[in-house]
Structure 1
Amino acid sequence: MWLTKVDHIQLTYPVEVEEKIVEFYTKILLLPEIEKPLSLRANRGKWYVLDNMQLHISREQVRKTSSKQHVCFVVTNLDQFKEYLLAYQIEIVPDKQPLKGCERFYIFDPAGNRLEIVKFTEV
């Protein structure tokens, strides 16, 4: 089995509801906030943690074909999993915003849902 766990889920929202969405997750659901990496802070939004999973919410004018919403799957060997996916003719979308401590790429399921595939290089 290639996938080991879900690392995080990202949801997006339009600018018109930014104040309400932050209030909902922070003050109504009482999710503990965690700091976003400096390189991603321009995207606005907040990151939260619940047990061993994170919820990321980011501002975006929601468009189904280019949404940032995704599920992130952790793998133990990114290169081998990439070759496995390519054998099934799955398109690999390179990471356009590299983050320190991980290597990643994206794929889309048949319905167009974006999936992040990550291998952490630092703990």
Structure 2
Amino acid sequence: MSITALHHVQLAMPIGGEDAAREFFAGPLGLTEVPKPADMAARGGCWFEKGEVRLHLGVEADFRPARKAHPALLVEDLPSLVDRLRTNGTTLAEGDPLEGFAHRWFVDDPFGNRIELLQPAT
């Protein structure tokens, strides 16, 4: 037995946050919303993906944003994404240099969950 891959990452969001999630994750981040299985759809939340990246947002009644734990997304043209996010009114913080990466930024989703954005060095 061995673990072969990471299937998805789940972030929590407050009740009723689906529209804000769609606006952010399908908007400037460019992920595609995919339907949740019928037996899970009634719970709320929404799922997004692009290629092998799968990000699930689940409703949590006693929601508290993840400030330390976070997903890190690899981005091909991070400066362009940073510009799109800024145009969208999103606040970003440039991260300290990290070996093997040309650019590193942090952003909060609409609910305050921390997300790291990385562009690998060429």
- TM-score normalised by the shorter chain: which range applies? 0.3 to 0.5
* More helix per residue: 1
- TM-score, length of structure 1 as denominator length: 0.45
TM-score between the two structures when normalised by the length of structure 2: 0.45
**Structure with the higher fraction of residues in strand conformation:** 1
